Amino acid sequence: MAPGGERVTLTPREFAVMEALIAAGGRLVTHADLLRRVWGPAHVGDSDYLRVVVRALRLKLEADPSAPTLIRNEPGIGYRLGEV
C-alpha cells in the first residue's frame, strides 16, 4: 500500500527486492546480496540495476521519496527497511 492507502502494483524485480528486505527483518542487506538474489550471480557488480529498482520502489511507497524512511540506504554497503 502506498502512503495514501491506495493499492500499488510492483514489478517482479521490485517485489523480489522488497521480499529480500522484509525477510532480513530490518537488518542490512548488502548490494551484492540483493543483486545476487534478484538478478543472479552474474550481476553482483551491477549496482545501477539495484538503484533503479529502489528508486522506483521509493516513488511508489514512500510519502516523500527524497527523504525515505521505509527503504533506508547505508551508503556504499546496502539497504535495510526502516520503521513502518
Q: Which residue has the cell 527486492?
A: 17
Q: What is the pLDDT along the chain (84 residues), one digit of tens a residue?
A: 677 778 899 999 999 999 999 999 999 999 999 999 999 988 888 888 999 999 999 999 999 999 999 999 999 999 999 976
Contact 48, 39 (CB under 8 A): no
Q: How far apart are CA 4 and CA 63, in angstroms?
A: 8
Q: How far apart are CA 71 and CA 61, in angstroms?
A: 9
Q: How far apart are CA 60 and CA 45, in angstroms?
A: 25
CA distance between the termini of the chain: 12
Spell out the domains of the chain, with CATH numbers in brackets: 12-81 (1.10.10.10)
